[in-house]
Every structure is written in C-alpha cells, then in structure tokens.
Amino acid sequence: MVNQLSKFSPNLAERTKPLRDLLSKRNQWYWGSEQDRAFLDLKNDLNSARTLALFEPNRETRVSADASSYGLGAILRQKQTDGTWKPVAYVLRSMTQTEQRYAQIEKEALALTWACERLNQYLLGSKFTLETDHKPLIPLLSTKNLEDLPIR
C-alpha cells in the first residue's frame, strides 16, 4: 500500500529506510525506537490530506530531483494561474547496494536522468526546467557538445 501511495509522499525512500533494513537477510530483525519513529511518521504522512494538481501541458513545468545516501526522489511541479507552484507528481525509489557506492555527483546525475525517464509521460514533447541542488553537476548538464565533457 505504501508504494502505491508514494506519489503523494515526498522523501519516502529516505524516511522508510529503518523499516526496509528489517527486510535484509544480512540484518538481525530488531524493532527499536528508530523503526517506531519511521512507522509513526509514515502513518501520519499517509493520513494527511495532500492533493496533487492536474497536469496541464501548456503550463510552465519544473522537475526537481535529488539523491540522498539511500534513495532518489523527484517532484514535478507546475505554475498555476494564481502564480503558485503545485506538485503534479512525486516519484521516488531506493538505491541498490551498488548505486549507494556511487560518487555524489553520479548519484545526482542518476536522480535527474531517472526522474526524466520516470516522468516521461508528462515531459515528452514539452518544454520544462530541470532543477538540481548539486552545483558541480550544472556545467556537465549545460554543455551541448559531448567533446567538451571531461574524459573519465
């Protein structure tokens, strides 16, 4: 049920990590105060009234994506007629063990590309602004010529 409602709940992957850790075969199953807090936070969040705006193709659109140590998240927002920005969709997922070992710049790039792929039904054929809070990523995304990118 939680995964089905994830589009209404920002930062879900990060907030449910203590609960997901209980599912790992490598961990001993122990319910402590950290799991209690995560469960209560999740329960309160799912009980709160949160509404999403309807997607309008002709409105100004922004996609903001971010990566944490354990998850990826993004929000699709649109400017409303009153000038406010309303969420249209939240998307999130946990990172695999391999992805958790990526450098931070790679995690942030993964978050942006994954968000565009996941939200493609809204974004294909539309003009939109892609936002990141990771400043080192901006020059990489701003270049139009692949030869200008640093060789790895």
pLDDT of residue 15: 81
pLDDT of residue 150: 61
Could you tell me the CA-to-CA distances from 148 to 81, 112, 144, 145 in Å, in that order? 40, 20, 8, 6
Q: How confident is the model at residue 114 (pLDDT cuts 50, 70, 90)?
A: very high
Q: What angle do CA 149, 136, 141 make, to 5 degrees?
A: 50
What is the tens place of the pLDDT at every residue in 3-49? 555 656 667 777 888 888 888 888 888 899 999 998 898 888 766 65
Above 80 in pLDDT, residue 72?
Answer: yes
Mean pLDDT in residue range 57-75: 93
- The token duo for 88 is 């249209």
Q: Which domains does the chain have, with CATH numbers?
A: 6-47 (no CATH), 61-141 (3.10.20.370)
Q: Report yes or no on whether pTM surpasses 0.85.
A: no
pLDDT of residue 148: 62
Share of the chain above pLDDT 70, in %: 83
Rounded to an integer, what distance in angstroms lies between the CA atom of residue 2 and that of residue 132?
26
For the ranges 56-65, 88-97, 115-124, which has the lowest average pLDDT?
Answer: 88-97
16, exposed or middle or buried, with CB in 10 Å at 0-12, 13-18, 19+? buried
- The token duo for 101 is 């070992």
Q: List Cβ neighbours of 98 (8 Å cut-off, separation of 6 or more).
A: none
Per-range mean pLDDT, top range of 9-18, 96-105, 142-151 = 96-105
